[in-house]
Every structure is written in structure tokens, then in C-alpha cells.
Structure 1
Amino acid sequence: MPDTLEPTYDRIGRSITARADRLWEVSSLLHKDPEPPYEEYRAAATLSGELEDAGFRVERGVAGLPTAFLARTGTGDGPCVALLMEYDALPGLGHACGHNLIAGAGLGAALALRDAFEEVPGTVLAVGTPAEERGGGKVAEVAAGLFEGVDCALMFHPGAQNWSWAPLTAQRQLRVAFHGRAAHPTGNPTEGIDALAALIQFFNTVSVLSRRLPSGSHIQGIVTRGGEATNIVPEYAEGLFGLRGATTAALENLVAEVGSTARGVALATGTRAVVERVGETYEHFRDNDVLSRRFARHIARHGIELTEPVAGVYLGSSDIGNVSTRVPAIHPFVAIMGAGGTDHTPEFAEAAGGPRAREVMPAAAEALARTAADVLIVPGVREEAWARLRELATAGL
């Protein structure tokens, strides 16, 4: 271990302690004033303002997103570490995914790194990533090249588990529409081609398909158009379907199979099927255990023991997946409520502003900053992390 490492860790710890009350104030501001995806104007202004006041160089509206930002500090020579902040909320539920805590921890880690060095030996980026819950700000930021030259992307997520990494699936949405022919159901019923009946048959066929899907794959759909009146045979019907796969490759296979199913139903019902992709693909999360093990060791100092996820259990999808397939990344879960709870509930929203959350957030911030410091100043860590990412990519994991 380099002689400079323990003093650096100490300075990080002192910074987090000194800033703990302000970090909680920022997190609480976001918690009390939740903003939906792509509309997080006040949250983005608060977070970027804190970073700018601390001496970071801030770019706002990056990647074509008004509520995204990029703040940087350091010499520019050496490794580049990125601390990711999410801050969008769920309509009607507020911060029921705890993004206010992700924002506070990412902010605290970035500020602590600037405090820990007279001059950061490399680059620290604090990245504001809007719209994780819908649309995927990170997807746009990846496409815009914001993560080019980055050596690691670090964030944590509050949860009901203490897991060292996140089993997150790939996800995308499809719109499946059927075109038929309108007719009067009694006046000329044989001339009609019922698009809604075709859509219902598609739902039934997908239900059969779902029974043989591999672990991690899933299809869930809703009817978005089903006709205009009961005395008209529907000429058009459509549904919106969410598809998930344990890997991005598995998701693409499922997308192809759903398309084939729609075409088969259309052939059987005399309709015409149209399958369209809606929004962006969230790729599966690729954990970089070179870094996640370091995070787990660092947060254990606070009495938080992280374990491996339960085999076969998946916790949804996130746009962090699109970052993790390109840059070494971590996304550990740290519990703010007891086992048996789950996010996207009113109870989780309450927990995200509660006493356990106030303990977890600074602990996660310190562990994130220590992990980032390891990449910046411990010889070989950056290279090991990149080698591990290449191994996972080669294996298709």
C-alpha cells in the first residue's frame, strides 16, 4: 500500500464528517421536492451549484439534456474516475427509489476527493445523470461520449439488501400494434377484421411463451388502444410491452421472438402486425468485482457487511448497465430498510428520508471516495479493472 494512501483515506473521512450535515440537507431538499424524469431542474441546479462553489468546473445541459451536468477537477494527467448522481423521482411516489441518497453520496464523494488532495492526481468527474426511471439519461450521455477516457464509474444504490453488486437485467419496451378492418358487429360482421381480438390472442400467446423463458427474462404488457366503440369492430389495437433479459444478448433474442410471435398471430387472424421499439435499451449490468470488492471493504469499516446477491434473484433494470459495458463500474446495494421491503413503494420513499438513510449515505460516500482514490493512486488498480471488464465482455457476461 502506498505511503500516501492512509493519509488520503483519513482526509476523505474527515471531509465526509465535516460535510455530513450539509450533504443530508441537500438530500433532504431533493426528498421533499421530488421532480420526475427530465424535469429535475431544481435538483440539478442544487447539485451543480454545490460542486461549482467547491471549485469544480461545471458544464450544464450536457448530452443534450437540460438537467444533466458534468463537473470536473484535477490535473488531467493520470486516471479518470467518475462519481454518478441520480436525482429523478417517481411520479406519485417521490423518491421511492432513493435517488436523493444516490445524489448526496455522489456529491459527498466528489467533494471529499477534492478535499483529500492538494491537487487531484488525475481527474475526478461528478456526473449528473437524469431520468434513470424513464428514458435513461446515462444512455444519452454514453452516446454523447461523456464516458470516453473514464477509467471507472462509481455509484451506490439504497435498497433492502446489503449486496456488493446489482443483478440488473437488460430492458426495453416494444409497441405491438395490429391493423384490421372496421365493420358493424351485426350489420356486416363478416367484413370486419378484429384488431383487438388479434391483440388479445397475442397476449395469450405471449403468456404461453413466458412459461419457457430462461431465468432473468420477462414480458409484461398493457393494452394502450383497444377500439373506439362497442358497435364498431376495432380496426386498430395496440399494446405496450416491457421485455427483460438476464443479458443484453438474451434480451435481443427475446425481442426477436416477440416479433415472430406477433407476425404469427397476424397471419392467423388476417391482421397486419407492426412491432416498434420504444425508447432506448437498458443494457444488463456488468459488475467490475476488482472495484466492488474494494467498495465492500471500505464500507465494512462502518459496520455494513455486503454479500453476494442471492442466486437467480434480479432487481429490475437501470441505465447504469449501458455505462458498465463500456467502463469498469460498480452499483452496490446498501440497505436503508429491513429485508422483505422493496423500492418503488411509499414505505421506501419514507425510508429514503429516515434515520437509517442518514447513516448509510455518508458511509456510502466515504466508501465511494476511497474506492476512487484507490484507482487514482494505487498502482495497478486501473489496469486490473480494465482487464476484468475485457474478460467479462469476452465471456458475454
Structure 2
Amino acid sequence: MSRRPEDLDGLYERIRRECASRAERLWEVSRTLHADPEPAYEEHRAARLLGGELERAGFRVEREAAGLETAFVARSGAGGRCVALLMEYDALPGLGHACGHNLIAAAGLGAALALRGVLGEDAGRVLAVGTPAEERGGGKVDLAAAGVFDGADAALMFHPGVHDWSWAPLTAQTQVQVAFHGRAAHPTGDPTRGIDALAGLVQLFNTVAVVSRRLPPGSHVQGIVTHGGTATNIVPDYAEGLFGLRAATTAALDELVRELGVWAAGVAAATGTTADVRRIGKGYAHFRDNDVLSERFTRHLARSGITLTQPVPGTYLGSSDIGDVSTRVPAIHPFVAILGEEASDHTPAFARAADSERGRAVMLAAAEALACTAADVLLRDDLSARAWARLREKEAAGL
């Protein structure tokens, strides 16, 4: 049953007090994660720490969710609508928490605990979802495919960054392996028999460089050589490259993969080689922001003195497995700055910021705003209906 706005105002204040009462412990959890970074699929201690916090608060914790050793789903409540609060906690090799996932985890944890503490068991269902391997592999992709988000009415998270943006312009991404096959020969003793597979791969890189100038906004191809031959006195009969492809939408990404195959076939015909093109891994769908919910988060966050704006038009900021969740359920992924716009994530400076006083303040503000937005989803029929309608509109429009 929907609550009147005046009822919700009192509820928001109780949520803020609940988050404030947990502030020291949430910061302790964040700093523990920061001091003990674990890379993708190896976040065993992080998953135990977060799952344990939720279990002690009365959540029912399912570990190794979707067959992933470091994923978990913690459940609370019964009946009514359902909201999922997402936690990331993988770190970057060599850089630690240079993407601030320790802050994401602590904010999601704080929102889940505050929501349960204020609403109890009867106002709807809360899922606190531990999502490993955002940086490499995509735990959310597997969790979504396993049905973890089926029946949820919203999936909510925030991400620290260098912008204060109400939503994240995140592209679809995948990786494509291209292998060229030629014929080995001695480069001077029998030069006419050799068919240089590496030359084919190099020509593909040249083609990508030229064609990339006309790709649509958001589309991008970046490649590396993973095999280029074995010796300088042998014409390489095999060469292999790995290409990372991104595009503004999942449909545009599929078209870009098709185009790369066309370019490789053309190069093979020109060089006398043959080319095998193979998509690697699951990839990520593009992110569909649910502006109905993002606007609510923006309003709630403003109470902490942080103003979010729309992203700069034409700007794209990488990819994330939240995209696969956003195609199934209304979702948000705002950016909240812990460094200035002159800086960047995935740097040592950003890792330090993820353990700074500004990082602490942002994490606590985000926890409050996430919990209040989750309460809106659970208690306001009109909001949930509009969020679902907006998702279906974007799906129909291919956005």
C-alpha cells in the first residue's frame, strides 16, 4: 500500500538516523576492504565480511549464488515489492581499490541494514546482492542469467567517480579474437612460398585505425597482439589479436562485431591468409538508466549537500555489468565524485581517495540516498509503476 508523502518524510528522517548510527561500522568495513584488496573472482574475504554483517542483522544469506564462489544474496522481508541493493568489492590488480568498490560495498550494506532496521519484515522484500568481478568477467551477468533479479522491482547502486552525475553513460562491450593463418617459410631462402599471417594482423590494425574515424559516437575498437610468431627467420604462419569493442547500445555493438568480421575477411583476401573471428566471453549490455528512480536518488542525495547533474552530452565512461541487470529490472548507477574532474579512476590517486574523508562522506550520503530510494520503490505504487513503464519504453525504442 502506498504511503502519503507526509508519512514518507518521517520515514526518510528515520532512515538517515539509522545510517548515521551505523556510520563508524560502515567506514570500518570500507577501510577493511580497502586495506585487503582482492581481484575478480578471488574476493573470498570480502564476501565473508559483508555476508557476515548481513547475517548478524537477520538477513538470510545464500552464499555462492549463481555458482560463483564469491557471490551471495542476502534476503529480508516477505510479500510486497522487492528491491535489490548491489555491492561490488573486487579490486584492480596492482592498484587495489582504484575504482572505489570498497565504497560501493559499504554503501550498499548500509542501505540494506538501514532499510531493514526501519521497515522491518512486513513492508516488502530487500535483497542485498554481493556481485563479484565487475572489473573482469562480470558477476552480475551470471547472477542475472541465474534469475537472481527475477521478481525484483528495482536494482540500486552508486559508483564513486570524478563527476557528480545522476546516471552513468555506460556502453555495451565485448572482446573479439581474430586469428590469421598463413604458411611458414624461410624469409630469404624461400620467400615466395611464405604467407605472412602477422602481416595480415598488422593490416587489420591499420584498417581499424582508418575505419574508426567514421564510427558512430560511443563505438570504439582497441586491440593488442597476443601472438605474432616464434622467430624472426620464420615467416609467421599464425598470428592472433584480441580486440575490445564498445558501442553506445547492445544492438550497435552487435553491428560493430559484424563489421570487424568484414574487415578481417577483406584483409585476408588481400594478403592470401585466412581469418577466424570469434567473440570471447559474455560481454556487457549497455546501461539503461531508469530516470524515474535516478531522479528520486538525486533528490535524496541533495539533502547531504551533493548536487547531481546530467552527464555531458556525447560522453561515454566505459562499461559495466550493471548493464545486464538494467535490461531486466529498473536500475540506477549514479556517479558521485570523490576527486575533481581533472582526475581519473583506475589510478593510485583514486585508490587513495577511496580511503579519504571525502570518500567516507560520499559513501554515507550514498547509503542514505539508496535506502530512501529503496523505500520509495517499496512503498509508493505510483513510482514503481512509472519505473517499469520507463524501462519498457526504452526497451521498445532500443535505447
Q: Distance in 2 between matches of 1:120 and 1:78?
A: 8
Amino acid at match of 1:301: R
Aligned pairs (5 A) from 1:325-344: 325-344=327-346
Amino acid at match of 2:215: L
Unaligned runs of 5+ in 2: none
SS at match of 1:190: coil
2:123 pairs with 1:121: yes
Moved more, 263-272 or 156-165: 263-272
Question: How far 1:6 moved relative to its partner?
Answer: 2.2
Q: Distance in 1 between matches of 2:5 and 2:299?
A: 17
Aligned pairs (5 A) from 1:105-116: 105-116=107-118
SS at match of 1:211: helix
Paired residue total: 396
2:36 pairs with 1:33: yes
Please say if residues 180 and 240 of structure 2, whose CA atoms lie closer than 8 Å, have aligned partners that are also in contact. yes
Amino acid at match of 2:7: T
Identity rate, percent: 71
Question: How far 1:305 moved relative to its partner?
Answer: 0.2
Q: Distance in 1 between matches of 2:20 and 2:173?
A: 38
Question: How far 1:2 moved relative to its partner?
Answer: 4.2
Please say if residues 60 and 67 of structure 1, whose CA atoms lie closer than 8 Å, have aligned partners that are also in contact. yes
2:21 pairs with 1:18: yes
Please say if residues 73 and 120 of structure 1, whose CA atoms lie closer than 8 Å, have aligned partners that are also in contact. no
Moved more, 368-377 or 179-188: 179-188
Q: Distance in 2 between matches of 1:130 and 1:358?
A: 22
Q: Distance in 2 between matches of 1:377 and 1:395?
A: 29
Q: Which residue of structure 2 aligns with residue 319 of structure 1? A: 321
2:227 pairs with 1:218: no
SS at match of 1:338: coil
Q: Alpha carbon RMSD of aligned pairs, Å?
A: 0.8
Choose the corresponding residue for 2:355, options 344, 353, 356: 353
After superposition, the C-alpha distances for 1:181-237 in whole angstroms (9 at most, x for unaligned) are: 111111111111100000000000111110100110000000010000001100100
Q: Distance in 2 between matches of 1:242 and 1:140?
A: 20
2:241 pairs with 1:239: yes
Aligned pairs (5 A) from 1:53-92: 53-75=56-78, 77-92=79-94
Q: Distance in 2 between matches of 1:259 and 1:118?
A: 54
Q: Distance in 1 between matches of 2:285 and 2:341?
A: 27
Aligned pairs (5 A) from 1:199-210: 199-210=201-212
Q: Distance in 1 between matches of 2:304 and 2:6?
A: 23
Please say if residues 77 and 120 of structure 2, whose CA atoms lie closer than 8 Å, have aligned partners that are also in contact. no
Aligned pairs (5 A) from 1:246-261: 246-261=248-263
Question: How far 1:118 moved relative to its partner?
Answer: 3.2
After superposition, the C-alpha distances for 1:110-151 in whole angstroms (9 at most, x for unaligned) are: 000000123241100000000000010000111111111010
User: TM-score, length-normalised on structure 2?
Assistant: 0.98
SS at match of 2:214: coil
SS at match of 2:340: coil
Please say if residues 11 and 115 of structure 1, whose CA atoms lie closer than 8 Å, have aligned partners that are also in contact. no
After superposition, the C-alpha distances for 1:262-321 in whole angstroms (9 at most, x for unaligned) are: 111111111110111111121110000000000000000000000000000111000000
Question: How far 1:8 moved relative to its partner?
Answer: 1.8
Amino acid at match of 1:221: G
Q: Distance in 2 between matches of 1:103 and 1:120?
A: 25
Unaligned runs of 5+ in 1: none
Q: Distance in 2 between matches of 1:156 and 1:102?
A: 6
Q: Which residue of structure 2 aligns with residue 43 of structure 1? A: 46
Amino acid at match of 2:180: F
Amino acid at match of 1:54: A
After superposition, the C-alpha distances for 1:224-256 in whole angstroms (9 at most, x for unaligned) are: 100000011001000110000011111111000
Amino acid at match of 1:304: I
Amino acid at match of 1:80: C
